[in-house]
Amino acid sequence: MATSEGKTTDPGIDPETGEYRVIGQGQTFRSVTEKISRIVLTPHTPLGWFAFFGVAGAGATMLLVAVTWLFLKGVGIWAITQPVAWGFAIINFVWWIGIGHAGTLISAILLLFKQGWRNSINRFAEAMTIFAVICAGMFPLIHVGRPWVSYWMLPLPFTMNVWPQFRSPLLWDVFAVSTYATISVVFWYMGMIPDFGTLRDRSESRIAQYFYGMLSMGWRGSTRHWMRYETASLLLAGLATPLVLSVHTVISFDFAVAVLPGWHTTIFPPYFVAGAIYSGFAMVLTLAIPLRKFYHLEALVTERHIDNMGKVMLATGFIVAYGYGMEVFMAWYSASHWEAFMMWNRMFGPMGWAYWVLVTCNLAIPLTTLWSRRLRTNITFMFLLSIVVNTGMWFERFVIIVTSLYRDFLPSAWGTYRATKWDYMTYVGTLGLFTALFVLFVRFLPMIPMNEIRMMLPGAKITPKATAKAGD
Amino acid sequence: MPPREGTYGMLAEFDNPSDLVRAARQARQDGWRRMECYTPYPVEEAAEAIGFHRNEVPLVTLIGGLMGCAAMFSLETWISVLAYPLNIAGRPTYSWPAFMVPAYEWTILWAGLSACFGMLALNGLPALYHPLFNAPNFRDGATTDKFFLCLEALDPKFDLIEAKAYLESFQPASVVEVEY
């Protein structure tokens, strides 16, 4: 318990343990609890919150309009036709699901690797997952044309005696995505139970006590409960890790199983998963940076978090780069005329611009700048970069889907693709829905897991025989 | 559960986890068995101190996962072989490699649900009422920054006056009696 041995003066390093501090200095159990629970329990909603919610809600309303019109008129209002039968709907589906994956990665994989720094960001990353999966799951459902019979995809005993065909990756998708949504919700909710207990005990209004009391299920922090809870969390993390890898793998099978140049490739599963994590981390940054500023959470979501996320993006970005490289290489190495033409057309055809947008946004800008620690800890830069990467990843899916389809084997069947205003409205609408749900989440649910933050504070260290009170 | 009245236990409040763990360890050594620690975050040392080492959540999860796998695989087989056989590009009706993907997903789905709901069931949650919430200092601290040790009245060693004196020997912030 030496107070100062003069070993280090770096404020980022804990002098007692010599480890990197993830949480800002001088926080106690009570101060972090206060800080996080006040955001939820305060009766005063900041004006900025209403502004955000208003804009996002307008977007969600636009989605409602677009989808209503779609249900009335059919998918013909979108630009999809032959040869590009999979347009924005599938692009957005893959993009949203990919964004969701970073949340699971942060909450599950980094938990298994004992990466304590994830504790500050895992809750809202999980929330992001769930809202992204809601947006993603909607697209295949509305894309089927007759969404009111979407339940035909499920193995249910109908009077017509028709059953699903289990050899199709599209059906595997139904199970992968529904399992993913369910497990994400369960993991998210379970993680919040102890925090609901805290909110129940700290709230002053009767309604809030009742509301959080019900949600907390009577949690009282018993050690036996905690141990079972910790086991269940670890098991769920262990289950969610193979799940998240399988979900995007199955999605990539939707493409890879088809005999179409540009889709028919074995690199797709790992390349899709890496791309998902890449874009997901970008989305976590897009959300975390304004949030920590708006709610003054700089001590809990520190520069070190931003820095670490930058590193993960750098690593996954290179896997994605390898994927792009391998696609080009295989186009040449396969010696297939169709493969080579597809790649040439993808780069230099009428829609070649999209490919170069993707290369610029996903490779050229991030993979050169993320090496620098100075830039990784520059908050404004990272925010802008996260938007660049999200754009790039959207274009990646655009390129994969549209430029593989619009000029296939027979030149007489070539076509083009130009999204209609309904396509754009639906896409922007899901952005609105996502933001609206997220804004509601930060107002009513604890966005940072208080119990996990407490574990990381210096006061949580068990000292064998402390007669004097510890300084923290 | 029969209606209970009287004393649930004696509750000592500590300001830091180290004192709690020390007290719990000592109490177990002195022969206390019906006791429980309450902490605002998981403290593994406290679980060890009161002699709680293993739990059944992994077993429940395993059983759930195996059931999910078996359920989906047999459903797929029944549908594809018996209920609605389809010729898809000449593949055999029992094309088990393709069935593995949904079976895999359902293994995870059922295992995950079993882990969460099994944990809650083993914990006896949801519970609408618990006597501990009657303690005046419990709600302010147990989920925020205080550490509690409760010696329960069901322990054969329990005696109102002795338990209080015993807990006070650990110099806690306070000792209160908890009633049903």
Contact A250, A172 (CB under 8 A): yes
% of chain B with per-residue pLDDT over 90: 29
Q: Where in chain B is the domain with CATH 3.30.70?
A: 7-54+130-179
Q: Round the average pLDDT of chain A to a whole number and report it.
A: 86
Confidence of residue A22 (pLDDT cuts 50, 70, 90): low
Confidence at residue A426, expressed as pLDDT on a 0 to 100 scale: 92
More confident residue, A369 or A115: A369
Confidence of residue A431 (pLDDT cuts 50, 70, 90): very high
- Name the minimum distance, in Å, from the CA of A207 to any CA of chain B: 16
Confidence at residue A468, expressed as pLDDT on a 0 to 100 scale: 42
Confidence at residue A14, expressed as pLDDT on a 0 to 100 scale: 60
In tens, the pLDDT along A49-63 reads: 899 899 999 999 999
Which of B22, B76, B105 lies closest to A176 in CB terms? Answer: B105
Looking at residue A20, the DSSP 8-state letter turns out to be B
In tens, the pLDDT along B9-53 reads: 888 888 888 888 888 888 888 888 888 899 888 888 888 888 888
User: Which CATH architecture is the domain B7-54+130-179 placed in?
Assistant: 2-Layer Sandwich (3.30)
Confidence at residue A18, expressed as pLDDT on a 0 to 100 scale: 58
Q: Does the distance separating the beta carbons of A194 and B38 come in below 8 Å? A: no
Confidence of residue B180 (pLDDT cuts 50, 70, 90): confident
Which of A163, A172, A242 lies closest to B79 in CB terms? Answer: A163
Residue B48 CB neighbours (<10 A): 16
Q: Which helix (H) or strand (E) holds B38?
A: strand B35-38
Contact B119, B61 (CB under 8 A): no
**Residue entry with tokens 């770096």:** A10
Query: b or e along B56-95 (b: 16 or more beta carbons within 10 Å of the residue's beta carbon)?
Result: ebeebbeebbeebbeebbebbbebbeeeeeeeeeeeeeeb
Distance CA B67, CA B61 (A): 10
Tokens standing for A82? 């032959």
Which of B115, B120, B143 lies closest to A221 in CB terms? Answer: B143
Distance CA A71, CA A435 (A): 24
Query: Which amino acid belongs to residue B73?
Result: F
In tens, the pLDDT along A326-343 reads: 999 998 998 988 889 999
Confidence at residue A356, expressed as pLDDT on a 0 to 100 scale: 94
Q: Which residues contact A335 (CB under 8 A, 6 or more apart)?
A: none
Segment A396-412 shows an average pLDDT of 89
Q: Examine the pLDDT at A418 and tell me if it is beyond 60.
A: yes
| CB pairs < 8 Å spanning A and B | 207
A29-456: CATH topology is Formate dehydrogenase/DMSO reductase fold (1.20.1630)
Contact A228, B57 (CB under 8 A): yes
- Burial of residue A2 (CB within 10 Å: 0-12, 13-18, 19+) is exposed
Confidence at residue A408, expressed as pLDDT on a 0 to 100 scale: 81
Distance CA A241, CA A235 (A): 10
Q: Does the distance separating the beta carbons of B98 and A459 come in below 8 Å? A: no
Confidence at residue A471, expressed as pLDDT on a 0 to 100 scale: 41
Confidence at residue A6, expressed as pLDDT on a 0 to 100 scale: 44
Q: Examine the pLDDT at A376 and tell me if it is beyond 70.
A: yes
**315-354 of A, contacting B, C-beta below 8 A:** none
Looking at residue A462, the DSSP 8-state letter turns out to be P
In tens, the pLDDT along A66-116 reads: 999 999 998 889 988 888 888 888 999 999 998 888 888 888 888 888 777
Instruction: Provide the whole-model pTM.
Output: 0.88
Query: Does the beta carbon of A215 lie under 8 angstroms from any beta carbon of chain B?
Result: no
Q: Does the distance separating the beta carbons of B79 and A221 come in below 8 Å? A: no
Residue A44 CB neighbours (<10 A): 6
More confident residue, A472 or A25: A25
- State yes or no: ipTM above 0.90: yes
Q: Does the distance separating the beta carbons of A28 and B40 come in below 8 Å? A: no
Nearest chain A residue to B82 by CA distance is: A163
Query: Does the beta carbon of A179 lie under 8 angstroms from any beta carbon of chain B?
Result: yes
Which of A222, A242, A460 lies closest to B108 in CB terms? Answer: A242
Which of A228, A455, A464 lies closest to B119 in CB terms? Answer: A228
Confidence at residue B74, expressed as pLDDT on a 0 to 100 scale: 95
Residue A449 CB neighbours (<10 A): 24
Residue A377 CB neighbours (<10 A): 15
Chain B partners within 8 Å of A30 (Cβ): 144-145
Q: What is the DSSP string of A151-162?
A: GGGS----TT--
- Name the minimum distance, in Å, from the CA of A362 to any CA of chain B: 31
% of chain A with per-residue pLDDT over 70: 93
Tokens standing for B42? 């998981």
Question: Roughly what angle, to the nearest 10 degrees, separates helices A223-256 and A169-202?
Answer: 150
Q: Does the distance separating the beta carbons of B99 and A246 come in below 8 Å? A: no
Distance CA A49, CA A439 (A): 7
Q: Does the distance separating the beta carbons of B42 and A227 come in below 8 Å? A: yes
Tokens standing for A212? 């959080």
% of chain A with per-residue pLDDT over 90: 37
Query: Which amino acid belongs to residue A210?
Result: Y
Tokens standing for A442? 């930060």
Query: Closest Cα partner for A40 from A196, A186, A219?
Result: A196
SS3 (DSSP) at B7? strand
Q: Examine the pLDDT at A462 and tell me if it is beyond 60.
A: yes
- Test the A interface: residue of B33, B81, B108 with most A CBs within 10 Å: B108
Q: Which residues contact A245 (CB under 8 A, 6 or more apart)?
A: A273
Q: Which of A91-95, A216-220, A292-296 has the lowest mean pLDDT?
A: A292-296
Q: Examine the pLDDT at A15 and tell me if it is beyond 80.
A: no
Confidence of residue B3 (pLDDT cuts 50, 70, 90): low
Q: What pairs with residue B11 in β-bridges?
A: B150, B176
Confidence at residue A472, expressed as pLDDT on a 0 to 100 scale: 40
- Test the A interface: residue of B101, B113, B117 with most A CBs within 10 Å: B101
Max CA distance (Å), chain B = 82
Which of B22, B38, B111 lies closest to A239 in CB terms? Answer: B111
Q: Examine the pLDDT at A132 and tell me if it is beyond 70.
A: yes
Q: Which residues contact B51 (CB under 8 A, 6 or more apart)?
A: B28, B33
Tokens standing for A114? 């004992």
Chain A partners within 8 Å of B35 (Cβ): none
In tens, the pLDDT along B79-122 reads: 999 989 988 888 899 999 999 999 999 999 999 999 999 999 99
Which of A232, A451, A460 lies closest to B57 in CB terms? Answer: A232
Confidence at residue A16, expressed as pLDDT on a 0 to 100 scale: 58
Contact B37, B147 (CB under 8 A): yes
